[in-house]
Structure 1
Amino acid sequence: MPEAGPLTSAARAGDATLHEQRRAAPRTDPPAGGRGPGVMAKGLLRTARPKQWVKNVLVVAAPAAAGRLFSAHALTQLALVFALFTACAAAVYLVNDARDAEADRAHPTKRHRPVAAGQVPVPVAYAAGGLLAVLAPALAAWLTAPAVAALLVAYLAMQLAYCVRLKHVLVVDLVIVTTGFLMRAVAGGLALGIPLSRWFLITTGFGALFMVAAKRYSEAVQMAGKAGATRALLTEYTPGYLRFVWQLAAGVAVLGYCLWALEEGGVPHTSVLPWRQLSMVAFVLAILRYAVFADRGTAGEPEEVVLRDRALAVIGAVWMTMYALAVANW
């Protein structure tokens, strides 16, 4: 038998070290009996990310922009679309966590996720995700407009492709997450047959890109020098590039909104005040306030930023009031 060379010896030594590390690492599997129905049900619910469901409120964006929000038919359809989008998002989370279970076990935070911790077996997560992915579009085709069902199928295909491959592709990962937000905003309009204006699409799309890039920038700043503590793709971006993206997106979103506000569009001048034009002030202030957190590197989940900062919440409430008055032409 040929004598082992230096590379072979080093490889064997590395394998031995890795084996010892694996033996010494604490196990995350639950004790016997830790996968009871109650524990598994709670684990499935946690994997569906209830805190993220607030993002699906974006389905009311288009009807609210068109002033067609408050009717029994609209509220029923929007509640249904919200539930279906939530089911689709949950399906994606379940499949994602099932795929990443092994990698998540080595992560300081993600190892506590139910699938990685062993509360939910990987096959169960796959099965639950697949069931939701099939049922949600089917119910949409039966209970809502066909366009909504097609949108949900496209959303699932895009997000699953993101989980499998696209989350590792530079720039494309930003586009996929941004498009997910935009699809939520478009879904409500499709359900009620509302035409979507170019200003709505521009403002919503680039507003979403602003928040997504700000979050990525914050992650890159906070995790600088901590290899393996966050998503690997962040090491491929520079903070300067991500800063450029969120600044560009914020500028385009503001421009799109201002062009909408300054466009008369045949609206009669019967309002007490020019709410369309005045709402620009609140919108720009909201963007500037959010940019403070982005610049500090503390812009995490958008809903957490808004709820954490009282000033931003107040500015947002003022903007929504002005916007509603503008749409209602009061």
Structure 2
Amino acid sequence: MWQTNNILYHLIRAMRPRQWTKNASLFAAAIFSGALFDGVDIYRLAIAAVLFSLLSSATYLINDVKDAERDALHPIKKNRPIPSGRLSKGFALSVALALVVFVLLMSVVFVNIPFFAICIIYLLLQISYSIYLRNIIIVDALTVAVGFIVRVFAGGFAADVSISSWIILSTIGLSLLLAFGKRRSERTILGSQDIAFKTRATLKSYPDSLLDSMISMSASYTMIAYSIFCFQTGVRSDIFLNRYLPTTLSSPKWLMITIPLVIYGVARYLYVIYEKRDAESPERVLMSDIPLLVSVLMWGILAFAIIY
């Protein structure tokens, strides 16, 4: 019994449930469309988010099996269940295959065909990344960005709503910031040691100056794209003050109130990268850096209140 529980514990760790936070982006299209409670099947969207989380876990298992020997050299990744040998490769692959089959079947039964198709695209993208794309400088970060875009479209297909082009552009900027910030932190943690290049081949091709430039560009791009999104006329605003304010102030641009929070969040993440030097795991940073977490929660609450 103890051994069974131990295997289950390591399996759950290998599935990386902490990274399921990335799949919150599935709700972006429905929330910002202003139709979350008006024409959107919330239960179907919730099922889609669960299925996508399981699919992402399957890709993590596949990736860890492929990179087990390489990850065993990494000071942090070596403690993962598969590189450390606590979870066998064969068992992990079997679970990954079972998850893929389950997700694809359930996506057809409980969601819809477009969502099924986007799941296939995401699976192929992640496998391509693990095998080849991760070894190409800049393309590796762009692939991460595409992964986030796929998540947004997955949510849009599940909710059957249109997606603002500026939401897509904002997602690209933020995901590039996370990707390049992760590379910068990996270089900081591993330095110029041979182990750094063995654990991630592209690190030797990323000079600090290039990463700094890409991080700066991505941060600026994110703030500009999100700001433009907040001012576009298609964004619905149901804030109650619109009923009582003069026409000059009643234009549906109230999302602009959230811009300072986005600026602060981006700036705080830059602080984590360069001063705390702890952005190697973005999802862990989000949950452990209190100022960043508070700014994200405040942004989410305020944006939701303004739209609904």
- On the 8 A contact 2:30/2:40 being kept in 1, the answer is no
Asked if residue 305 in structure 1 is aligned to residue 285 in structure 2, the reply is yes
TM-score, with length taken from structure 2: 0.86
Q: 2:242 aligns with which of 263, 266, 270?
A: 270
Q: CA deviation at 1:174?
A: 0.6
Asked if residue 224 in structure 1 is aligned to residue 191 in structure 2, the reply is yes
- On the 8 A contact 1:221/1:239 being kept in 2, the answer is no
SS at match of 2:64: helix
Q: 2:215 aligns with which of 242, 246, 251?
A: 246
Q: CA deviation at 1:171?
A: 1.2
> 1:240 and 1:55, CA in 2 relative to 1: closer, same or farther beyond 3 A?
same
The structure with higher relative contact order (CA 8 Å, sep 6+) is 2
> 1:75 and 1:179, CA in 2 relative to 1: closer, same or farther beyond 3 A?
same
Asked if residue 290 in structure 1 is aligned to residue 269 in structure 2, the reply is yes
> d(CA) in 2 for partners of 1:266 and 1:208?
22
> d(CA) in 1 for partners of 2:169 and 2:47?
26
Asked if residue 95 in structure 1 is aligned to residue 62 in structure 2, the reply is yes
- On the 8 A contact 2:146/2:172 being kept in 1, the answer is yes
Match of residue 300 from structure 2: 320
Match of residue 31 from structure 1: none
Question: Which sections of structure 2, spanning at least 5 residues, go unmatched?
Answer: none
- On the 8 A contact 1:254/1:284 being kept in 2, the answer is yes
Q: CA deviation at 1:197?
A: 1.0
Asked if residue 256 in structure 1 is aligned to residue 254 in structure 2, the reply is no
> d(CA) in 1 for partners of 2:81 and 2:170?
37
SS at match of 2:13: helix
Q: CA deviation at 1:60?
A: 1.3
The alignment-based identity, stated in percent, is 28
Q: How many residues align?
A: 295
> d(CA) in 1 for partners of 2:170 and 2:126?
22
- On the 8 A contact 2:58/2:95 being kept in 1, the answer is yes
Q: CA deviation at 1:180?
A: 1.5
> 1:44 and 1:75, CA in 2 relative to 1: closer, same or farther beyond 3 A?
same
Over residues 95-148 of structure 1, what are the superposed CA-to-partner deviations in whole Å (9 max), with x where a residue is unaligned?
112222233334443333222333322222222112212221221122112111
> 1:123 and 1:240, CA in 2 relative to 1: closer, same or farther beyond 3 A?
same
Over residues 175-229 of structure 1, what are the superposed CA-to-partner deviations in whole Å (9 max), with x where a residue is unaligned?
1112212222222111011101111111112111112211211211222133214
> d(CA) in 1 for partners of 2:104 and 2:148?
18
> 1:287 and 1:123, CA in 2 relative to 1: closer, same or farther beyond 3 A?
same
The range that moved more, 170-179 or 268-277, is 268-277
> d(CA) in 2 for partners of 1:108 and 1:259?
41
Following superposition of structure 1 onto structure 2, how do residues 58-69 of structure 1 map, counting pairs within 5 Å? Answer: 58-69=25-36
Q: CA deviation at 1:267?
A: 5.9
- On the 8 A contact 2:34/2:236 being kept in 1, the answer is no
Match of residue 235 from structure 1: 204
Following superposition of structure 1 onto structure 2, how do residues 116-131 of structure 1 map, counting pairs within 5 Å? Answer: 116-131=83-98
- On the 8 A contact 1:286/1:316 being kept in 2, the answer is yes
Q: Looking at CA atoms only, which structure, 1 or 2, has the larger radius of gyration?
A: 1
SS at match of 1:189: helix
TM-score, with length taken from structure 1: 0.81
> 1:117 and 1:291, CA in 2 relative to 1: closer, same or farther beyond 3 A?
closer
Please tell me the root mean square deviation across aligned C-alpha atoms, in Å. 2.5
> 1:228 and 1:141, CA in 2 relative to 1: closer, same or farther beyond 3 A?
same
Over residues 223-263 of structure 1, what are the superposed CA-to-partner deviations in whole Å (9 max), with x where a residue is unaligned?
21332144232121111111111211111111111112222
Match of residue 74 from structure 1: 41
Match of residue 156 from structure 1: 123
> 1:40 and 1:225, CA in 2 relative to 1: closer, same or farther beyond 3 A?
same
- On the 8 A contact 2:145/2:171 being kept in 1, the answer is no
- On the 8 A contact 2:29/2:161 being kept in 1, the answer is yes
Q: CA deviation at 1:43?
A: 2.3
Match of residue 201 from structure 1: 168
SS at match of 1:115: coil
Q: 1:56 aligns with which of 19, 23, 27?
A: 23
SS at match of 1:228: helix
Over residues 40-77 of structure 1, what are the superposed CA-to-partner deviations in whole Å (9 max), with x where a residue is unaligned?
32222221112212222221111111123347963311
Question: Which sections of structure 1, spanning at least 5 residues, go unmatched?
Answer: 1-33
